[in-house]
Each structure stands twice: as structure tokens, then as C-alpha cells.
């Protein structure tokens, strides 16, 4: 299995041909899913004692499996948060994969860590973080949020000298708490559960957590001593709202709370001059994450996690074992494994480094601005139509709107029709309990004509 032989040569030829065909697609087919029963009938298992000809296995992937996988990088994929990796990033990801890089440490992967850290330094500088900030690339926003909040818990424990806060009110659980808004990402609740902490959820009126709302909510709750961290969102997934980062930073600093900013989707907006002021206050965060595999045009799976004081993360995440002692002989050498809960790790930041170095930071800035401009034009188009109306004025590249008179089932039927016809992938969501539609614009090749076609289809 490990030698270069005739089988390897045949596989190589198929893979290279497929790679060339796929990377040449500027508008790949959306494709669609099927039921498990249909999948079982179409793709019987090929796992046998003696294996199969590579042409048979590859044909099943190419002709059966791949068409049942939605193309998240299609300009017509407008649901959830899409991806729009550059061709350069996609191609270099194949180089990373075939190179079998284990990017856990400077010892094993000094070249990869050096290049990745150039990207992290660039992002930290954009965020306004001080010199000396740093972190690592992890698999996604969920991993980044969990890792950052684990550091927050340890820092608060150290500062207070307590493993858990003393119960101050009858309803206290005796656990540390994280303050979030009602629009925070679901991964924050998951991280809180894994860390054995509780959430204090602040209700918002317009989806934005502000410093004043935060202050009033904690005061009304009556147990501020149990708070260890506050999480703000720089671009909520559902509506693209940026919290009042400056106001939240003020309250967090006054109470000595850890301040984490989840910018998994919307953090990329710090590149765009047209919206940069919305991120004022980000520079005061203790930790910040942004996912290149979303709006920074990298392939899956890639999230940048950056700490103001990375040594605090090392205190939490450095794994101790006799066989790992050699990784820490020279403390000045950064080890990505010391900044998150992982050990084994792909050098997942390298595709972005390559693409960024090839195309330049200006091209990235223009691509982000393109998505923002499209969202504004889509909002104006909605304003001019009688059968749809805008729910929220877009702050970033998410546009939330309603089709007047429709319920969730109406949106679902329409959404399935759009996908069956390969027009677009737009699934419904909810805003304040009401069924709505939303566009999530990430791909700079999504056109005004496509948006107009989608909106016109809702008139039927």
C-alpha cells in the first residue's frame, strides 16, 4: 500500500484529472442530498477483504457520492455561512495534504509554523492587538471558542484563588458563568457545558449586545462574582450583527472579566474600511477568533485563534508527557499545540498563507468589500418589491428578509424547489420566532442577477 506502483500511478492520474476539472469550475453545480435509503441503493459498500480496482472506487465517488454533496463554494450557495476558497488556497491545500505535515510543534514543522504565524500576526495587527499577541489555527470557531474559554476559566481561577465561586444567591449553582447575548453562536453553550460552567444569557432588542445591556443584566442578576467571562460576537451567524465591542470591553475591564470576541464569520470585516468602525473595541479583547474557511477565502477546516497574552494559553493547554519534553527545550519557539486543546494538528493555516502571499492583502480587502456591497444592493432591491420586505438593515453580508404571508412550510417548499432546479441553496431561518429567509453573501462571484432571480421566484 505504501509503494509507488501501477495502482498508485493510476490513482494519481485520476486524482490529478479530477483536481484540474474541479479547480477550473467557477460556478460548480450545487448538487443535492438524498435519503439514506436511496444512498444505500446507489452506493453499496466497497469495503471488502481484497479491495477493488481504483477505477471502480473512484467512479463511485465521482459519479455517485460527489453529486450528493452540496458545493459550499458555489456562488449560488447562500445558506448557513458559505465558503469561497481561492483557487490558490485550494491547490495549496493539496500540497499540505500530500506533504503529511504534523503541525503541532516548531520541532516537527518549523517552516509551517513560521508561515502560519505570519498570517496570525497580520490578523492580530488588523484587530489592533499589541505586539507579542499570538495563537494558532484550529479546526473551526467551535474549537476556538472552547479553547479560549478554557483559558478564561483558568485565569479567573488563578486570580481568585478559587476553583469555583462561592454561592452568593439562592439560585447560584456554585459554578463560574459566561455572559452571552441571545444571539451568540450555539458553540458557546456547548463550550460552557464542556467546561462545567453556566451561561447568563442577556436578552437583546435588536440582536446587539451593548455595554449598557450587559451592565444592567449582571446587576439585576445579583451574582456578578460568579462571572468569569463575557463573549461578544463580531458578526452573528444568523443576522450578521456586530455587538457593541467597545462598551462590552469597558464593562469587562471594570469587572476584571475575560473578554472573548467570536468573529468566526464576521471577523473578516476588519479588513473592510466601509465597516471597520463597527469593530472599535476589538483591540481590548483578551482573545479573538475568525474562520478563514468562511469569509477569508480559505478551504475547510481553518479558524484563527489569537490571544492578547499567549503565555496564558500555554499555561492552560500545554500537554505534559515524557515524550513531549523535547518540544519545550527552547521556550522561545512557538508550538501550536500549546494554544488550544489539540495535539495532532494539520498545518491548516498554510493554504491561506500561500493565497494571501500570492494575491496580496489588497485583493482580500476588495473581495470582502464586494460581499458587503452586494448585501446593500440586495437590501435596496428587496425594498423595491411588493411581495418581500427587509427584516433588518444589513450590517455585514447577511440579509434577513421575509416573504409576506409565508410560514415556515412555505419557505421550505420554495427552498427545495430552488435547489431541485439548481438555481440556489437558500434555506429558511427564524428571527424572533418568525420564519424568514436570509442571504449569506461570501462568494465575490454571486451576482445581482442571481439575487433578482431568487427574489422573483418568491412572487409565485
Give 336-350 pLDDT, tens digit per residue. Answer: 999 999 999 999 999
C-beta separation of 165 from 226 below 8 A? yes
C-beta separation of 267 from 235 below 8 A? yes
Q: What is the DSSP letter of 179?
A: E
Query: HSE-up of 194 (CA within 13 Å, CB side)?
Result: 15
Task: Give burial (CB, 10 Å; 0-12/13-18/19+) of 21.
Answer: exposed
Instruction: Say which CATH topology domain 96-359 has.
Output: 3.40.640
Determine the pLDDT at residue 160: 86
Q: Where in the chain is the domain with CATH 3.90.1150.170?
A: 361-457
Q: Which residues of the chain fall short of a pLDDT of 50? A: 170
Report CA-CA distances (Å) from 123 to 114, 149, 293.
15, 20, 14
Q: Count CB neighbours of 217 within 10 A.
A: 17
Determine the pLDDT at residue 169: 55
* Cell numbers linked to 275: 465597516
Tell which residue, 96, 119, 94, has the closest CA to residue 357: 119
Determine the pLDDT at residue 432: 95
Give 58-80 pLDDT, tens digit per residue. Answer: 999 999 999 999 999 999 999 99
* Cell numbers linked to 380: 435596496
Give 246-259 pLDDT, tens digit per residue. Answer: 999 999 999 999 99
Give 295-329 pLDDT, tens digit per residue. Answer: 999 999 999 999 999 999 999 999 999 999 999 99
Tell which residue, 341, 369, 374, has the closest CA to residue 139: 341
Q: Where in the chain is the domain with CATH 3.40.640.10?
A: 96-359
**What CATH number does the domain located at 361-457 have?**
3.90.1150.170
Laid out side by side, the sheet with 398-403 consists of 388-390, 398-403, 434-440, 429-431
Determine the pLDDT at residue 460: 86
Determine the pLDDT at residue 222: 86
Please give the mean pLDDT across all residues of the chain.
96
Size of the chain, expressed as the number of residues it contains: 460
Q: What is the rounded end-to-end Cα distance, in angstroms, of the chain? A: 56
Whole-prediction pTM: 0.97
- Cα–Cα distance measured from residue 458 to residue 439, given in angstroms and rounded to the nearest whole number: 14
Query: By percentage, how much of the chain surpasses pLDDT 90?
Result: 95
Of all helices (H) and strands (E), which one includes residue 109? helix 106-127
- Cα–Cα distance measured from residue 17 to residue 21, given in angstroms and rounded to the nearest whole number: 6
- Cα–Cα distance measured from residue 1 to residue 7, given in angstroms and rounded to the nearest whole number: 9
Determine the pLDDT at residue 172: 64
Determine the pLDDT at residue 170: 47
* Cell numbers linked to 151: 483559558
Q: What is the DSSP letter of 453?
A: H
Tell which residue, 18, 84, 142, has the closest CA to residue 352: 84
Amino acid at each position: 500500500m505504501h509503494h509507488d506502483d501501477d495502482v498508485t500511478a493510476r490513482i494519481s492520474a485520476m486524482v490529478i484529472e479530477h483536481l484540474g476539472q474541479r479547480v477550473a469550475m467557477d460556478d460548480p453545480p450545487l448538487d443535492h442530498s438524498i435519503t439514506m435509503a436511496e444512498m444505500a441503493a446507489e452506493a453499496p459498500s466497497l469495503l471488502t477483504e481484497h479491495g477493488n480496482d481504483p477505477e471502480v472506487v473512484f467512479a463511485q465517488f465521482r459519479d455517485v457520492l460527489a453529486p450528493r454533496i452540496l458545493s459550499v463554494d458555489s456562488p449560488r450557495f447562500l445558506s448557513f455561512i458559505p465558503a469561497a476558497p481561492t483557487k490558490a488556497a485550494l491547490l495549496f491545500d493539496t500540497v499540505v495534504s500530500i506533504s503529511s505535515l504534523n503541525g503541532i510543534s516548531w520541532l516537527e514543522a518549523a517552516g509551517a509554523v513560521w508561515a502560519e504565524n505570519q498570517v496570525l500576526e497580520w490578523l492580530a495587527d488588523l484587530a489592533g492587538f499589541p505586539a507579542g499577541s499570538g495563537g494558532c489555527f484550529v479546526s473551526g470557531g467551535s474549537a476556538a471558542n472552547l479553547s479560549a474559554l478554557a483559558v478564561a476559566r483558568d485565569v479567573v481561577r488563578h486570580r481568585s484563588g478559587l476553583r469555583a465561586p462561592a454561592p452568593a444567591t439562592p439560585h447560584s449553582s456554585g459554578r463560574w458563568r459566561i455572559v452571552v447575548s441571545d444571539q451568540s453562536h450555539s458553540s458557546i453553550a456547548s463550550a460552557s457545558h464542556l467546561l462545567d460552567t453556566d451561561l447568563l444569557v442577556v436578552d437583546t432588542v435588536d440582536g446587539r449586545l451593548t455595554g449598557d445591556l450587559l451592565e444592567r443584566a449582571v446587576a439585576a442578576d445579583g451574582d456578578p462574582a460568579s462571572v468569569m467571562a463575557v463573549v461578544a460576537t463580531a458578526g452573528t451567524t444568523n443576522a450578521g450583527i456586530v455587538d457593541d465591542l467597545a462598551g462590552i470591553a469597558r464593562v469587562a475591564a471594570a469587572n476584571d472579566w475575560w473578554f472573548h470576541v467570536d468573529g468566526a464569520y464576521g471577523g473578516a470585516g476588519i479588513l473592510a474600511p466601509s465597516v471597520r468602525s463597527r469593530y472599535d473595541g476589538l483591540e481590548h479583547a483578551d482573545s479573538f477568533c475568525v474562520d478563514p474557511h468562511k469569509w477569508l477565502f480559505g478551504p475547510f477546516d481553518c479558524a484563527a485563534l489569537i490571544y492578547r497574552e499567549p503565555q496564558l494559553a500555554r499555561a492552560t493547554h500545554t500537554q505534559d508527557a515524557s515524550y513531549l519534553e523535547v518540544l519545550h527545550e527552547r521556550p522561545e519557539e512557538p508550538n501550536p499545540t500549546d494554544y488550544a486543546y489539540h495535539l495532532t494538528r494539520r498545518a491548516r493555516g498554510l493554504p491561506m498563507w500561500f493565497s494571501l502571499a500570492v494575491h496580496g492583502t489588497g485583493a482580500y480587502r476588495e473581495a470582502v468589500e464586494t460581499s458587503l456591497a452586494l448585501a446593500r444592493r440586495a437590501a435596496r432591491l428587496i425594498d423595491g418589491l411588493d411581495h418581500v420586505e427587509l427584516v433588518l438593515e444589513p450590517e455585514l453580508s447577511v440579509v434577513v428578509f421575509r416573504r409576506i404571508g409565508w410560514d415556515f412550510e412555505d419557505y421550505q417548499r420554495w427552498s427545495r424547489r430552488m435547489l431541485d432546479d439548481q438555481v440556489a441553496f437558500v434555506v429558511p431561518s427564524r428571527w424572533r420566532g418568525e420564519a424568514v429567509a436570509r442571504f449569506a453573501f461570501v462568494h465575490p462571484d454571486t451576482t445581482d442577477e442571481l439575487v433578482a432571480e431568487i427574489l422573483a421566484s418568491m412572487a409565485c
